[in-house]
Amino acid sequence: GTPILVDEGVAEYARQHLPPHEGRIRRVGRFRPAGMGHEITISQLLLPAGHEDNLSDADIVLYEQAWDSFAAGNWQAALDQLEEIPATDRVREYLRIYITANNCEPPPTWSGTIPLQLK
């Protein structure tokens, strides 16, 4: 549900060179794609603040805080933070569904990374 996802290198370049009035970057999270032996951090390219149906800068900060809580294994805090973000945010919804599908508890082998089962 997110039109433009980028890897760490592109996200870092955009953070350094993309003016906020042209676009913003939000860290989505850390994932291990199916068939890959390593983890990657994925970010999302967003429209500038103020566009209709777009997240505010505060929403972006709150999502990234929720991800940090999630990665640290504090899934209830992550859920509480996610509830403050607009329900129209598809990334927020993906993480919320992932947490609830796992009964709001990280598995015993939790490393802060979501393993993706499909390519």
Per-residue DSSP letters for the chain? --S-EE-HHHHHHHHHHS-TTT-EEEEEEEEE-TT-SS-EEEEEEEPPTTSTT---HHHHHHHHHHHHHHHTT-HHHHHHHHTTS-TT-HHHHHHHHHHHHTTTS--TT--S-EEP---
Sign of CA dihedral 88, 90, 91, 95: positive
pLDDT (0 to 100) of residue 52:
67
Mean pLDDT in each 10-residue stretch from start to end of the chain (119 residues)? Answer: 87 94 93 89 90 83 96 96 92 94 93 85
32, 39 contact by CB (below 8 A): yes
Token output for 23: 């676009």
What pLDDT shows up at residue 1? 59
**What pLDDT does residue 31 have?**
94
This prediction has a pTM of 0.87
Q: How many residues does the chain have?
A: 119
For 55-84, how does the pLDDT look when each residue is reduced to its tens digit (9 = 90+)?
889 999 999 999 999 999 999 999 999 999
